Structure 1
Amino acid sequence: MSLRPLFITQVYEASLADGRGWPEFNEQLIDVIRMMAEEDAAGRHWCKANAYRGYTSYGSLNDLPQRFPEFAELKRHLDRHAVAYAKALNFDLARKPRLDNLWVNILKPGGGHTGHIHPHAFLSGTVYIDIPDGASSLKLEDPRLPFMMARPSVTEEASEAERPFVYLKAQAGTVLMWESWLRHEVPTNLAKADRISISFNYA
Structure 2
Amino acid sequence: MDEVTEFPKFSILSPWPTVINRHVASGHENYAAEITGLAEQAVDGDVFALDHPAVNWLRKTIDARIKAYFDTATKATGCSWRVEGRLITRGMNEFQAMNNRPGSYLTGVFCVNAPARKAGLKLRNDSDTNTLTLVDPRLGMNMIGISGDPYTVQIWKIPAEPGLMTMWPGYINHWMTPNQSDEPFVLVRFDVLIGEGDDKEEGHTTWNRLAVLAPDAPAAKKPDEGLQKIWPTLFVKRHLDDCEDWNSQLAVLINDMEKQNPDLTTNSWLENFFDRQEAPVAWLRDRVTETVAGYLEEFVDFDFQWRIECWPNINHTGDYHAPHMHGWCYLSGTYYLELPPADPGGDDADVPSGAINFADPRPGINIVSVDGDPYSKPQFFMRPEVGTMLLWPSSLMHNVYPNLAKENRITISFNVVVNGPLPC
TM-score by length of 1: 0.81
Q: How does 1:1-203 map to 2 (within 5 A)?
A: 3-16=227-240, 18=241, 20=242, 22-40=243-261, 44=262, 46=263, 55-56=265-266, 58-88=268-298, 90-95=299-304, 97-99=306-308, 101-134=309-342, 135-145=353-363, 147-148=364-365, 151-155=367-371, 157-159=372-374, 161-203=375-417
Question: C-alpha displacement at 1:3, in angstroms?
Answer: 4.3
The AA in structure 1 aligned to 2:239 is S
Cα deviations by residue, 1:153-184 (Å, 9 ceiling, x for unpaired): 230x232x442100021111100000111111
Cα deviations by residue, 1:75-95 (Å, 9 ceiling, x for unpaired): 11100011122233x212323
**Cα gap change, 1:125/1:33 in structure 2, threshold over 3 Å: closer, same or farther?**
same
Bigger radius of gyration = 2
Preserved contact between residue 57 and residue 103 of structure 1 (Cα < 8 Å) = no
CA distance in 2, matches of 1:75, 1:29: 12
CA distance in 2, matches of 1:123, 1:187: 21
CA distance in 2, matches of 1:36, 1:93: 38
CA distance in 2, matches of 1:60, 1:93: 31
Question: C-alpha displacement at 1:59, in angstroms?
Answer: 3.6
Question: C-alpha displacement at 1:61, in angstroms?
Answer: 1.9
**Cα gap change, 1:3/1:118 in structure 2, threshold over 3 Å: closer, same or farther?**
same
Cα deviations by residue, 1:124-156 (Å, 9 ceiling, x for unpaired): 0000000111131110010113x44x831230x
Question: C-alpha displacement at 1:193, in angstroms?
Answer: 1.3
Preserved contact between residue 129 and residue 172 of structure 1 (Cα < 8 Å) = yes
Q: Secondary structure at the match of 1:197?
A: strand
- Paired-residue identity, %: 29
Cα deviations by residue, 1:63-115 (Å, 9 ceiling, x for unpaired): 54334332122111100011122233x2123236421x100000011111111
**Cα gap change, 1:56/1:29 in structure 2, threshold over 3 Å: closer, same or farther?**
farther
The AA in structure 2 aligned to 1:154 is V
**Cα gap change, 1:197/1:175 in structure 2, threshold over 3 Å: closer, same or farther?**
same
Preserved contact between residue 57 and residue 105 of structure 1 (Cα < 8 Å) = no
CA distance in 2, matches of 1:77, 1:178: 16
Question: C-alpha displacement at 1:187, in angstroms?
Answer: 1.2
Aligned residues: 183
- Relative contact order (C-alpha < 8 Å, sep 6+): which is higher? 1
Preserved contact between residue 104 and residue 199 of structure 1 (Cα < 8 Å) = yes
Unaligned runs of 5+ in 2: 1-223, 343-352, 418-424
The AA in structure 1 aligned to 2:307 is R
Question: C-alpha displacement at 1:27, in angstroms?
Answer: 0.5
CA distance in 2, matches of 1:71, 1:7: 35
Preserved contact between residue 124 and residue 199 of structure 1 (Cα < 8 Å) = yes
Bigger shift: residues 174-183 or 67-76: 67-76
2:137 alignment counterpart: none
The AA in structure 2 aligned to 1:66 is R
Preserved contact between residue 274 and residue 285 of structure 2 (Cα < 8 Å) = no
